[in-house]
């Protein structure tokens, strides 16, 4: 197939896309309309935990599609109960609300915190979030995000999201007042360029929240579901959050997200939260299949091993080319470039022939790596070799 046979102008232009139409995916590989294959280290932005069209997901989808797709959220269904049981067993949380996107799960977290504030803290509603944080693209989650420029883009914002600095406890403390109901952050800021919170900061936030009687919310839409080498990233900081949101990897590629809370915080009354598709059996059945794959003995250990391999490889490239090092947790990592040629490297990687390589540059001087969690040792070695050559070629 030729790219020119497609009329791409029927779609709203919400991002600038290359002249490619992907038609097939398998594991760490994608194939475009011309049959060219690409090694994929983006994976739908850290979404496809098990790679493209993982057999266990296809099986779950096919079986569930033939059984029951949507009885409505007004009734119980088996896969949503099974997935909620798995998530609560694996975490410190007691209750789950399923959503369709990370933004929607975060909207739910914001609503839940505000409701809790109305019941327990004299109507306190402000949620302290972080500069450069990312929580989604609805109006409230854009307001909660700290992306430069987002405060004016669709003004007026939703009120009540004062911004602190990640890893600066004093900046959080200074913002707490009688109207504050919660602190919310990503354990590793993803869109900001893979910036991990420190252990001292996360533990300090928990302590601050306890001292002031406010809630501690972690947005694990990107870091959750094994991405950082443990099922949830908060587990690596030895903290117990009150609310957590999940998205991206939880569905492995199908639209699924979740809001989790501890019992004392689960204060929604009937009618206050909902959504047509929430907890539908088609997507939660896939969620069960993804969860069971991540929970298999040895799976998370292999994520950690691949994370170490990627980290060491990136460090070696950084040293060789005089770059600024690498950072991240597990298989969410970034290489810090010494100049703004990230987008040029991404372009050159995609255009390689006969096989392309898909990378992401969230900033000019940064490359981000989000491979499938079951990426092989050989695929990581191959990516690192290609990247080495690409850096030389782009800089020549």
Binding site for ligand PLP (CB under 6 A): 101-103, 106, 134-136, 186, 190, 219, 221-222, 247-248
The answer to whether 181 is a known ligand-binding residue is: no
CB of 329 to ligand PLP, least distance (A): 13
Looking at the Cβ atoms of 102 and 371, the one nearer to ligand PLP is: 102
CB of 144 to ligand PLP, least distance (A): 9
Given the residues 248, 291, 341, 369, the one annotated as active site: 248
219 given a catalytic annotation: yes
Cα distances (angstroms) measured from residue 33 to each of 3, 36, 388: 7, 7, 28
CB 234 within 8 A of CB 202: yes
Looking at the Cβ atoms of 194 and 345, the one nearer to ligand PLP is: 194
The answer to whether 10 is a known ligand-binding residue is: no
The answer to whether 157 is a known ligand-binding residue is: no
With CA atoms as reference, report the closest residue to 253 among 218, 296, 219, 282: 282
Looking at the Cβ atoms of 248 and 327, the one nearer to ligand PLP is: 248
19 given a catalytic annotation: no
CB of 194 to ligand PLP, least distance (A): 11
The answer to whether 102 is a known ligand-binding residue is: yes
Find the radius of gyration of the CA atoms of the chain: 21
CB of 248 to ligand PLP, least distance (A): 6
Which value, to the nearest 10 degrees, does the dihedral of the CA atoms of residues 31, 137, 366, 364 take?
100
The answer to whether 59 is a known ligand-binding residue is: no
Rounded Cα–Cα distance for residues 137 and 183 (Å):
19
CB 100 within 8 A of CB 275: yes
The answer to whether 219 is a known ligand-binding residue is: yes
Given the residues 32, 219, 242, 341, the one annotated as active site: 219
Looking at the Cβ atoms of 40 and 219, the one nearer to ligand PLP is: 219
Rounded Cα–Cα distance for residues 80 and 164 (Å):
36
Looking at the Cβ atoms of 226 and 247, the one nearer to ligand PLP is: 247
Answer whether the bond into residue 156 is a cis peptide, omega within 30°: yes
Nearest residue by C-beta to ligand PLP?
A: 102
CB of 223 to ligand PLP, least distance (A): 7
Rounded Cα–Cα distance for residues 74 and 391 (Å):
54
CB 92 within 8 A of CB 262: yes
The answer to whether 222 is a known ligand-binding residue is: yes
CB 245 within 8 A of CB 106: yes
Rounded Cα–Cα distance for residues 328 and 305 (Å):
14
Given the residues 134, 201, 291, 369, the one annotated as active site: 134
CB 48 within 8 A of CB 372: yes
Give Cα 372 distance to the centre of its chain. 13
C-beta contacts of 386-392 below 8 A and 24+ residues apart: 386/39, 386/349, 386/352, 386/357, 387/317, 387/345, 387/349, 387/357, 387/359, 388/317, 388/320, 390/345, 390/348, 390/349, 390/352, 390/357, 391/317, 391/321, 391/345
**Burial class (CB within 10 angstroms; exposed 0-12, middle 13-18, buried 19+) of 74:** exposed
Looking at the Cβ atoms of 219 and 379, the one nearer to ligand PLP is: 219
The answer to whether 137 is a known ligand-binding residue is: yes
The answer to whether 103 is a known ligand-binding residue is: yes
Looking at the Cβ atoms of 53 and 138, the one nearer to ligand PLP is: 138
CB of 287 to ligand PLP, least distance (A): 14
- E strand or H helix at 345: helix 342-351
147 given a catalytic annotation: no
CB of 245 to ligand PLP, least distance (A): 7
Give DSSP secondary structure letters for 10-41. Answer: GS--SS---S--EEEEEBTEEEETTS-EEEES
Pairing of strands 180-185, 188-189: unpaired
Which parts are annotated binding residues for N(2)-acetyl-L-ornithine? Answer: 137
Q: Which residues are catalytic?
A: 134, 219, 248
Residues in the annotated binding site: 102-103, 134, 137, 219-222, 276
Return binding residues for pyridoxal 5'-phosphate. 102-103, 134, 219-222, 276
């Amino acid at each position: 197939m030729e790219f020119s046979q497609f009329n791409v102008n029927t779609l709203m232009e919400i991002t600038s896309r290359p002249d490619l139409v992907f038609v097939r995916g398998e594991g760490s590989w994608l194939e475009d309309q011309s049959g060219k294959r690409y090694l994929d280290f983006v994976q739908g932005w850290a979404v496809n935990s098990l790679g493209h069209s993982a057999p266990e997901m296809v099986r779950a989808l096919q079986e569930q599609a033939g059984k029951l797709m949507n009885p409505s959220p007004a009734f119980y269904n088996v896969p949503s109960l099974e997935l909620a049981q798995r998530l609560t067993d694996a975490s410190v949380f007691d209750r789950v609300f399923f959503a369709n996107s990370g933004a929607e799960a975060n909207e739910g977290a914001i609503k839940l915190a505000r409701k809790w504030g109305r019941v327990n803290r004299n109507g306190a509603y402000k949620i302290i979030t972080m500069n450069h944080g990312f929580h989604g693209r609805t109006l409230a989650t854009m307001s909660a995000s700290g992306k430069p420029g987002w405060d004016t883009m669709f003004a007026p914002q939703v009120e009540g999201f004062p911004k602190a600095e990640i890893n600066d406890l004093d900046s959080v403390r200074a913002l707490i007042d009688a109207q504050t109901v919660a602190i919310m952050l990503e354990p590793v800021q993803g869109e900001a360029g893979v910036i991990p919170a420190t252990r001292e900061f996360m533990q300090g936030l928990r302590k601050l929240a306890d001292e002031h009687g406010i809630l501690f919310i972690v947005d694990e839409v990107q870091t959750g579901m094994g991405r950082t080498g443990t099922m949830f990233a908060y587990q690596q900081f030895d903290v117990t959050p009150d609310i957590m949101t999940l998205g991206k990897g939880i569905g492995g590629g199908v639209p699924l997200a979740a809001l989790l809370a501890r019992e004392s915080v689960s204060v929604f009354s009937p009618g206050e939260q909902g959504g047509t598709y929430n907890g539908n059996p088609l997507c939660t059945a896939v969620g069960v299949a993804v969860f069971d794959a991540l929970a298999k003995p040895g799976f998370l250990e292999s994520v950690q091993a691949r994370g170490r391999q990627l980290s060491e490889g990136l460090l070696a490239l950084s040293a060789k080319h005089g770059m600024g090092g690498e950072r991240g947790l597990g298989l969410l990592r970034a290489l810090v470039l010494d100049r703004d040629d990230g987008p040029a490297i991404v372009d050159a990687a995609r255009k390689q022939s006969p096989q392309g390589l898909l990378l992401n540059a969230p900033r000019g001087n940064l490359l981000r790596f989000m491979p499938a969690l079951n990426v092989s040792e050989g695929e990581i070695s191959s990516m690192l070799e290609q990247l080495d050559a690409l850096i030389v070629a782009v800089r020549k």
